[in-house]
A and B are shown apart, each in its own frame.
Chain A
């Protein structure tokens, strides 16, 4: 009989405590098993003829939702980080106030407003959804990139320069890795916001997990609303926890900012 390895029970306990596996399991089970809950919804809402949303399978809706968010987030990550880096370079520094006032201005536009204005102009469906998602996804990432690069101390940059790094080398090998956790925090906010915006995007005809909610609201079918809302809430929570874990990984891997600054300041001192 093999005894489990020493750390095993501890790991098991940790597993039980971390919420990510549980929320992922719940998401998966509800996505695939929603039709099986039919008796429950029929009992809760006896007045409804069709207590489970059947126009699309929930798996297809989850996939469509994830695809919309993934595509827009990919564009937003590239655009947001490029913008953030560009206004921190000497050549683009003059444009930083412009980017900041643009970010501040867009805060007063609710995402649903962008969707509603875009839809009559370019047609209903996925296209206005993608525009709104990319626009709102860029903001937190650009903000995170700005904050992350700002936090890199001048001493660190000077050391990189002293080591003979070219400006782009210093950016790529020193500043961006140090800024990575803050940028990742921006990506996390961006993805969570995008999951919400994609839900609203069903009001302009995009097929997402918001569709059962909208259909349910307009048809007084509360069961549909609950089914869509529970799934999309679980999806957002899972993504958030996934990013939290990624952030923890990243900050465990990377040297602490203060230490780097200190060790960066060390060489000249050691030369005394």
Chain B
């Protein structure tokens, strides 16, 4: 039989290798002792073998014809496989925790993460071959994780140490989520408006472009930690001068200022690109129709430049989600605070509790903006 697609062959080969060599779970009697690895193969017996069902199409993937139906089958099988794998881990953790000692910890091992990432890549590959517009692809990519989300919400995973960490830190988790969203949301507004204004200015004054983008590029070049650090002293001094202003060297103000400064470049750049890509003929036609400058701006230039502008906002938002992680170091909170707390205690589960939501947030923001873009492109102009 001829291999029709070498990509699943590579991914499935790596999955088999990971399942064979790496432990799916790691079980320790308490958090001080190092864990004992549990292989996937030892967990599969009796009715649990049914969980392997979604893996069958995946194993056959290299030989499946590149037809629409096959791609849909593969993507849904991969999605179910991710859920089955996670459900198996959760069930085994619950079984192991069945005993009296509540100190026992069952955490997800390297094998689980490798199988998860490879499975997600397989699903993405199948979806990409389906084709389709950016918005639908983004929605489908999000839908891949729905079975997993259902599993998480149904409480079947609660015995895993990651979820135990969540239960222990529920308050600080909720606070971190709120703060992280606050950081990103409050950055998007000034960075979006300011960056768009700068881009517009650069469009109207081509002479200023060189200086403006050189300056923004320097800001982007400065490492984020350094920028956070450099803003501490000036803002602290400002806070002392204006006691009622709420300004301070650490906390929200320097974090928001730094995130906004970083967001200006992608925003300004895409505004300029969005305005530049409007064909001269279109503007001339608008002028010929007798539209005033304001009307041209509202009815021609802005709608035509909007998709590029939104994609600039998308870059700014994803960048802000990641950078906000570091803002914890200057006392601005967010998921970074949980991550660094875990790091100082060398507690991997706590680190993951601070990392996974950020990755999920970035993926969700990315998909949302892609969806918005596709709506703009389809909708009336």
Contacts and interface: CB of A to CB of B under 8 A. Distances in A.
B267 to A, nearest CB: 17
**B interface, by DSSP: helix, strand, loop or mixed?**
helix
A97 B125 contact: yes
Interface residues of B, number: 51
A68 interface: no
A97 B362 contact: no
Interface in B335-381: 336, 339-340, 342-343, 346-348, 351-352, 354-355, 358-359, 362-363, 366
A28 interface: no
A74 interface: no
Interface in A190-243: 192, 195-196, 199-200, 203-204, 210, 213-214, 216-217, 222, 225-226, 228-230, 232-233, 236-237, 240
A195 B223 CA distance: 7
Contact of B229 (A98, A107, A217): A217
A109 B5 CA distance: 28
B355 A240 contact: no
B121 interface: yes
Closest 9 CB pairs of A and B: A110-B322, A196-B223, A108-B362, A229-B229, A229-B226, A225-B229, A120-B348, A113-B355, A233-B222
Contacts of B321: 108, 110
Interface stretch (B36-44, B158-166, B183-191, B230-238): B230-238
Interface of A: 44, 94-95, 97-98, 101-102, 105, 107-113, 116-117, 119-121, 192, 195-196, 199-200, 203-204, 210, 213-214, 216-217, 222, 225-226, 228-230, 232-233, 236-237, 240
B119 interface: no
A196 B219 CA distance: 12
Nearest to B328: A112
B225 interface: yes
Nearest to A232: B226
Nearest to A238: B221
Contact of A200 (B129, B233, B326): B326
B329 A113 contact: no
Nearest to A124: B346
A69 B194 CA distance: 33
Given A101-B124, A108-B318, A119-B343, A94 B5 contact: yes
A120, A192, A199, A216 — most chain B CB neighbours (10 Å)? A120
Contacts of A217: 229, 329-330
A73 to B, nearest CB: 15
B84 interface: no
B97 interface: no
A105, A110, A113, A216 — most chain B CB neighbours (10 Å)? A110
Contacts of B346: 119-120
Contact of A120 (B340, B351, B362): B351
Contacts of A102: 121
A141 to B, nearest CB: 17
A110 B229 CA distance: 19
A44 to B, nearest CB: 8
A102 B10 CA distance: 14
A97 B128 CA distance: 8
